[in-house]
Amino acid sequence: MTMLPSPRRFTSDAATGAAYDHGAHVVEWTPAGHAPVLWMSGASRFDMASAIRGGVPICLPWFGAGRSLDLAPAHGFARIRTWFVSEATTTPAGTTVRYNLELAPSEVFPHSLNAEYLVVFGTELALELTVTNPGTDAFTIEEALHTYIAVGDIHSVVVSGLDGCAYLDKAPEAPATAVVQQGDIVFTDETDRVYSSTGDVVITDPLLKRRIIVSKTNSANTVVWNPWIAKAAAMPDFGDDEWTGMLCVEGANALGDAITVEPGASHTMSYRLRVEAL
């Protein structure tokens, strides 16, 4: 098993941050005056064959097992490939890192795909994923910035901004058809939902005395996930008791909102985090 080299670490007046070239995987963002915003598992693997557990995994060119429900690796290749850093500049306002990836055609995804990922570690965390089709045939992708947020205790967290939005519930024994969110989200069991939503989402965390605002562009879906007890215990790279300290709120284009990219065209999805003290 080939272990990963150390991550790139960045410090500016605005924030500190860190990312691995493996998966262009952001693993830390701490804006000045706040506690770390991203969650990392203490059981994460750091080898070339595995996805890192926590931070911001990039799901591409499919989400989960894909729309056909039979694709592997889970969440696609991007998070287990080494990305190339084409720019890394720091000013007092923050650090900008530009990652690039060229995916060659494969049996499971028979298209060349180029991706560029812009990360700004500033007073906000700004992420921008651009997918370009260099080939001669259109292709369809799913994508997600699968962000793990650190929370004080999931039992006291409230998520607002999704009231009235339809969602597909992927939790065990959930209905196969979409349901509509009623009010804010509170967490009492495994929660795994793909919402149809383009708007901002607010994560209110009374224990850490902060709210985190998630903003997106060109993202039709917001995914909300906490594995709860049984699923946390079933994941070898996730500590059995870690589920209370994390929540995924992801910007995505998945399932029926997959994106078709014409030859020579590009699609850019953006995702931003902002922290406010309560």
Q: Which residues bind ligand TA6 (CB under 6 A)?
A: 51, 64, 74-75, 146, 170, 192, 223, 225, 248, 250
Instruction: Please state the closest distance from residue 88 (CB atom) to ligand TA6, in A.
Output: 26
Considering the complex, state which of residue 178 and residue 207 has its C-beta at the smaller distance from ligand TA6. 178
Instruction: Please state the closest distance from residue 223 (CB atom) to ligand TA6, in A.
Output: 5
Q: Which of 212, 160, 214 is nearest to 182 (CA)?
A: 160
173 included as an active-site residue:
no
**How far apart are alpha carbons 113 and 261 in whole angstroms?**
10
Considering the complex, state which of residue 80 and residue 103 has its C-beta at the smaller distance from ligand TA6. 80
Considering the complex, state which of residue 139 and residue 243 has its C-beta at the smaller distance from ligand TA6. 243
Residue 237 region by backbone torsions, left for phi larger than 0, else alpha for psi between -120 and 50, else beta: alpha
Q: Which of 250, 262, 267, 276 is catalytic?
A: 250
**How far apart are alpha carbons 76 and 201 in whole angstroms?**
25
Instruction: Please state the closest distance from residue 252 (CB atom) to ligand TA6, in A.
Output: 8
Instruction: Please state the closest distance from residue 74 (CB atom) to ligand TA6, in A.
Output: 4
Q: Which of 75, 146, 190, 242 is catalytic?
A: 146
146 included as an active-site residue:
yes
Considering the complex, state which of residue 28 and residue 192 has its C-beta at the smaller distance from ligand TA6. 192
Positions annotated as catalytic residues are 146, 250
